[in-house]
Amino acid sequence: MQTSILRQRVQKGYSLGDRIKLLRAYENSPLSACAICAIEGIARSTWQTWLTKKAKYLATTRNKKLSSLGGQGRPVHMTFGTDLLAYMRKVRGDSHNLTTSHMITWLKTHQPEWLESYLGNKTNDDRAYKCLLAMCQRFAHRMVLPSEYRVSRS
């Protein structure tokens, strides 16, 4: 059986608390960055990233057991989602069918600037309308609405 000459690197996760402890120890230590990396078994690139984010790590108020500073998620595309959801619930509460056309009409009435910028980013009008329909459909499904709230295509 053959074995690798180089040992395989195992990926290790570090909590915010671990990073802060190591950064503070580095501040008060006469050791170089390379020595700290060798002693602690940290990849040099990882250490460099921590040093660039040092101020953020030391200033954070997040739980120290977490592994990130937060904010990595996808940016919010529809900032008016709660208003649209309230409209959807109102329509369904009145025992009416809710379609994507209703949602688009609401967008035209209440969010014309957003709708214009969204449609303006598309290559042509047909593509823009299909994307808008699909976005409304995904929004309804993402809100995990019961089956009576499901949106049908119009």
Per-residue pLDDT tens digits for 10-69:
788 899 999 999 999 999 889 899 998 888 888 899 999 999 999 999 999 999 999 989
Domain that holds residue 90: 81-149
* pLDDT band, very low/low/confident/very high, at 144 (cuts 50, 70, 90): low
Is residue 40 a part of any domain in this protein?
yes
8-25: per-residue pLDDT in tens? 767 888 999 999 999 999
Q: For the chain, how far is it from start to end, CA to CA, in angstroms?
A: 63
- The three-class DSSP label of residue 152 is strand
Provide mean pLDDT across the span 131-144: 87
Contact 119, 132 (CB under 8 A): yes
Query: What pLDDT score was predicted for residue 3?
Result: 58
| Cα distance between residue 74 and residue 71, in whole Å | 8
Mean pLDDT of the chain: 86
Is residue 74 a part of any domain in this protein?
no
Residues 54 and 92 in one domain: no
> Considering the entire predicted model, what is its pTM?
0.54
* pLDDT band, very low/low/confident/very high, at 147 (cuts 50, 70, 90): low
Other CB atoms closer than 10 Å to residue 136's CB: what's the count?
25
Is residue 11 a part of any domain in this protein?
no
